[in-house]
């Protein structure tokens, strides 16, 4: 259940530091916030706005609250096989996935939209393409179907009845980052020209009805579609790798259900605010939409459990829930304070990249306890399936 931290900040997080709370309060202080800012149980300090925050606005949008990886999210697919269909050693499958799905900063396929130029899932270009597109259309095409870096990953998991799942975390890649930064910088420039004083320059906003606002909405919605299609494309590549690895036809290893959900996005939605049904721009930065019956994917940290959930439609959270475990240590602190041997122990028995030194900033000890996070949002979601990974491929 939530805690009323201030008159306009409501929090489901029990592990919340003062720096993060102050950042959420700065967002909530803006005059166009409609209602309260909702902090999910994985909330932590972020760029501009708090990661794990849900922000309703009227008449304006904060580009940095959507974030620099527009449309980042999760896709999960249950395959029609169980653990008994897999060998004990998945090292070769890990190598096949790594070959078919490029990862890392700036990495992509050699041509087109993936192997053989397959355009599956690539969104149509918007009618009016912004200045960001100069030189970036080729990048968007070659990076489509690629993983990226940081906390992005591909996993093969088993659920509570040993059914096999593919789980994948990624977003809009370099083109989404470019779009975001063009509009964040543009909003900051507008604030200076309009002599608008903000509690944090990164909270620069765009006013509805202006050309700058409409340009951002057009580009941002396209990037959200790109991110969703990017996940679908990678899922198809991983599924094909599994088929080749098992030497089985697709009808013997079908995808029997899938969930594809954003957790960095904004959309027009209607919510009850101050007793009235109100249309707002609802920005979820590190949060999943969880209307009643909505399916979602909530990953733990590397090596931890993940969850397939159904939303309960909780009004106080604006029908939202957490997007993961949430960091409790910065990447620099993790590299400084955590030991490689500890990460290797936690990944024992799994097929994974194996380079613990390169991945130490993704160590589970750098994240909040996913069990505590899930317990704190029992009023927001129902757990449908609990997954544990047997293969983990990280972007480095």
Q: Are 17 and 4 in contact (CB under 8 A)?
A: no
Inter-residue contact 326 to 370 (CB < 8 Å):
no
The answer to whether residue 263 is catalytic is: no
Tell me the pairing of strands 295-298 and 163-170: unpaired
Task: Label the pairing between strands 306-311 and 381-394.
Answer: antiparallel
3 state SS of 19: helix
- Parallel, antiparallel, or unpaired: how do β-strands 37-44 and 351-352 relate? unpaired
Q: Rounded CA gap, 207 and 31, in Å?
A: 12
| Number of separate helices (H) and strands (E) present in the chain | 10, 18
The first and second tokens of residue 178, run together, are 């470019």
Distance, in Å, from the CA atom of 86 to the CA atom of 390, rounded to the nearest integer, reads: 10
Q: Tell me the C-alpha distance between 202 and 385, whole Å.
A: 38
The one catalytic residue among 262, 323, 385, 388: 323
Cβ atoms < 10 Å from Cβ of 321: 30
Residues labelled catalytic: 323
């Amino acid at each position: 259940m939530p805690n009323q931290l201030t008159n306009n900040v409501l929090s489901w997080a029990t592990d919340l530091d003062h720096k993060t709370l102050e950042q959420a309060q700065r967002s909530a202080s803006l005059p166009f916030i409609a209602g309260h800012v909702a902090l999910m149980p994985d909330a932590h300090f972020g760029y501009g706005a708090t990661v794990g925050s849900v922000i309703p606005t009227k008449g304006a949008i904060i580009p940095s609250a959507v974030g620099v990886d527009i449309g980042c999210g999760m896709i999960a697919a249950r395959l029609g096989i169980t653990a008994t269909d897999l060998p004990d050693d998945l090292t070769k499958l890990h190598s096949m996935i790594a070959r078919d799905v490029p990862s890392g900063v700036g990495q992509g396929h050699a041509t087109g939209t993936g192997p053989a130029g397959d355009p599956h899932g690539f969104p149509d270009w918007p009618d009016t393409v912004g200045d960001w597109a100069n030189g970036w259309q080729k990048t968007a095409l070659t990076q489509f179907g690629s993983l990226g870096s940081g906390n992005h990953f591909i996993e093969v998991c088993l659920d509570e009845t040993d059914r096999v799942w593919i789980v994948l975390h990624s977003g809009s890649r370099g083109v989404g980052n470019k779009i975001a930064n063009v509009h964040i910088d543009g909003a900051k420039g507008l604030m200076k020209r309009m002599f608008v004083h903000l509690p944090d320059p990164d909270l620069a906003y765009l006013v509805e009805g202006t050309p700058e606002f409409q340009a951002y909405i057009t580009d941002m919605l396209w990037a959200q579609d790109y991110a969703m299609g990017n996940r679908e494309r990678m899922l198809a590549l991983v599924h094909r790798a599994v088929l080749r690895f098992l030497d089985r036809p697709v009808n013997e290893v079908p995808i029997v259900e899938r969930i594809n959900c954003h957790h960095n996005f904004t959309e027009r939605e209607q919510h009850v605010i101050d007793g009235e049904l109100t249309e707002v721009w609802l920005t979820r930065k590190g949060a999943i939409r969880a209307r009643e019956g909505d399916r979602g994917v909530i990953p733990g940290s590397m090596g931890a459990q993940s969850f397939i959930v159904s939303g309960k439609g909780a009004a106080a959270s604006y029908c939202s829930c957490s997007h993961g475990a949430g960091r409790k240590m910065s990447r620099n602190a993790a590299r400084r304070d955590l030991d490689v041997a500890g990460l290797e122990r936690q990944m024992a028995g799994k097929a994974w990249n194996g380079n613990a030194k390169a991945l130490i900033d993704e160590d589970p000890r750098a994240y909040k306890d996913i069990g505590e996070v899930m317990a704190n949002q029992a009023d927001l979601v129902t757990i449908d399936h609990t997954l544990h990974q047997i293969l983990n491929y990280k972007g480095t």
